């Protein structure tokens, strides 16, 4: 409580105050004092002094000396959608519960940015890194390896480090099947009735497209190439693809698979340009779960990826230090329309809730 605006207390200050040496103070404050055979009384004395002066360790100094920082990084492509923001939320909670400090950064799907950001994290001696949805996981891997940083890929796999990803193939199968079955309620379904929008040439998109096509072939007997419309990940591009389809066909496909919630925002932009009623009968499957997306005015089947399981598995991999780079699949979950799942926020206590 002493000293507002004063410099922060250091072990040297406490050393003078307590009459012990800095090393003793250090040992007491970092918990290694038993190993160092410090008398319990001494430890207590120093601990009390530290508390009284609001001592907190200078983590940069500690990190410099010990070349470990207690930081665990999560590299995201973007924050601004429910899949990644809930992943960040889960990550924070998990890292905190392990007594470490979470650091989340985004790199905007830019391979160069990804490497730079990771370099920066390395400069802070982070202890572990979760690389989520990286455009160039192997590029990041190289940077990490050079620095001896343990890391794991989440969501998009790399070839050089272990990865934990959704079973995109299976998820896509579930989703495609669900929208086709739903469409069949209104009569027979032809291959040209079912489209896929969004995604690009990354592993997840490829697997989802593969699952989509496989189910279409087995349920509908065919899958014309025209039904696959990879638009990239931007809402604007996706909206344009819907608009183009609409212009040439006079309607949207009867049912379609949207590659991610970001692409689904593209659908919103399209819808905003057109009267409400025109699209009351479309059926949508979206690979990603967004609670509001689930309640749109037409049936939206969604896939909820289990980011909690992915992060947890990621930690397990980092601890196991497996040598060969393996890829673990986490099963995603099909979410029927109008479903409000609980999320990471639900574990928070809501103080003063009235």
Of 8, 98, 251, 338, the one binding DNA by CB under 7 A? 8
Binding mask 60-99 for DNA (x = CB under 7 A): -xx-xxxx--------------------------------
Instruction: Using the minimum distance from each CB to DNA, give the nearer residue, 122 or 237.
Output: 122
- With beta carbons less than 8 A apart as the criterion, state whether 256 and 227 touch: no
The encoded tokens of residue 344 equal 């990471």
CB of 95 to DNA, least distance (A): 19
Instruction: Using the minimum distance from each CB to a second copy, give the nearer residue, 114 or 167.
Output: 114
In angstroms, the CA 264 to CA 286 distance is 7
Instruction: Tell me which H or E stretch contains 94.
Output: helix 82-97
Of 21, 23, 60, 278, the one binding a second copy by CB under 8 A? 60
- Binding-residue total with DNA (CB under 7 A): 31
Q: Is 138 exposed, middle or buried (0-12, 13-18, 19+ CB in 10 A)?
A: middle
Select the binding partner of residue 159 from DNA, a second copy, none (C-beta < 5 to 8 A, by kind). none
- Of 331, 261, 352, nearest to 301 by C-alpha is 261
Select the binding partner of residue 135 from DNA, a second copy, none (C-beta < 5 to 8 A, by kind). a second copy
User: Do β-strands 101-106 and 71-76 pair in parallel, antiparallel, or remain unpaired?
Assistant: parallel
Instruction: Using the minimum distance from each CB to DNA, give the nearer residue, 29 or 49.
Output: 29
Contacts for 249 with CB less than 8 Å, ≥ 6 apart: none
**Which residues in 236-295 contact a second copy (CB under 8 A)?**
236-237, 262, 264-265, 268-269, 271-272, 276, 290-295
In angstroms, the CA 228 to CA 203 distance is 16
Select the binding partner of residue 47 from a second copy, DNA, none (C-beta < 5 to 8 A, by kind). none
Compute the half-sphere exposure of residue 120: CA atoms within 13 Å on the CB side of its CA: 14
In angstroms, the CA 151 to CA 162 distance is 8
Of 24, 89, 168, 176, the one binding DNA by CB under 7 A? 24
- With beta carbons less than 8 A apart as the criterion, state whether 94 and 312 touch: yes
Verify binding: residue 146, DNA, rule CB under 7 A.
Answer: no
Span of 23-31, 75-83, 239-247, 292-300 interacting with DNA by CB under 7 A: 23-31
- Of 162, 157, 261, nearest to 204 by C-alpha is 157
**For the chain, counts of helices (H) and of strands (E):** 12, 12
Crossing angle of helices 137-146 and 111-123, in 10° steps, is 20
3-state secondary structure 57-68: CCHHHHHHHHCC
Of 3, 23, 159, 336, the one binding DNA by CB under 7 A? 23
In angstroms, the CA 206 to CA 265 distance is 21
**Which residues in 4-23 contact a second copy (CB under 8 A)?**
4-6, 8
Of 2, 4, 7, 272, the one binding DNA by CB under 7 A? 7
Of 24, 26, 86, 166, the one binding a second copy by CB under 8 A? 86
**Which residues in 145-164 contact a second copy (CB under 8 A)?**
145-148
**Which residues in 30-59 contact DNA (CB under 7 A)?**
30, 32, 36-39, 41-42, 55, 57-58
**Which residues in 158-217 contact a second copy (CB under 8 A)?**
200-201
Select the binding partner of residue 115 from a second copy, DNA, none (C-beta < 5 to 8 A, by kind). none
Q: Which residues bind DNA (CB under 7 A)?
A: 7-8, 10-12, 19-24, 26-27, 29-30, 32, 36-39, 41-42, 55, 57-58, 61-62, 64-67
């Amino acid at each position: 409580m002493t000293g507002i605006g004063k410099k922060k207390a250091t072990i040297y200050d406490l050393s003078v105050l307590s009459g012990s040496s800095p090393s003793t103070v250090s040992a007491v404050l970092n918990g290694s004092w038993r190993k160092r055979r410090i008398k319990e009384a001494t430890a207590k004395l120093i601990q009390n002094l530290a508390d009284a002066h609001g001592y907190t360790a200078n983590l940069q100094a500690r990190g410099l000396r010990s070349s470990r920082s207690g930081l665990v990084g999560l590299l995201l492509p973007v924050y601004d959608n429910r899949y990644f923001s809930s992943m960040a939320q889960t990550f924070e909670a998990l890292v905190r519960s392990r007594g470490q400090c979470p650091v989340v950064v985004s790199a905007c799907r830019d391979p160069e940015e990804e490497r730079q950001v990771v370099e920066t994290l390395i400069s802070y001696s982070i202890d572990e890194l979760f690389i989520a949805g990286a455009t160039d996981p192997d590029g990041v891997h190289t940077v990490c390896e050079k620095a001896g940083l343990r890391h794991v890929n989440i969501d998009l796999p790399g070839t050089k480090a272990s990865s934990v990803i959704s079973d995109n193939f299976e998820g896509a199968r579930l989703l495609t099947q669900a929208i086709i079955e739903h469409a069949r309620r209104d009569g027979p379904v032809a291959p040209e009735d079912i489209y896929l929008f969004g995604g690009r040439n990354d592993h997840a998109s490829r697997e989802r497209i593969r699952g989509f096509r496989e189910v279409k072939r087995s349920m509908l007997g065919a899958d014309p190439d025209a039904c696959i419309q990879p638009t990239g990940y931007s809402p604007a591009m996706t909206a344009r693809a819907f608009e183009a389809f609409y212009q040439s066909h006079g309607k949207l496909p009867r049912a379609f698979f949207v590659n991610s919630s970001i692409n689904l925002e593209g659908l919103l932009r399209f819808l905003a340009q057109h009267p409400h009623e025109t699209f009351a009968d479309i059926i949508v499957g979206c690979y990603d779960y967004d609670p509001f997306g689930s309640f749109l005015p037409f049936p939206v089947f969604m896939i909820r990826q289990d980011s909690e399981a992915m992060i947890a598995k990621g930690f397990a991999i980092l601890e196991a230090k497996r040598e060969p780079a393996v890829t673990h699949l986490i099963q995603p979950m099909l979410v029927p329309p109008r479903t409000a799942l609980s999320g990471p926020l639900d574990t928070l206590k809501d103080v003063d809730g009235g």
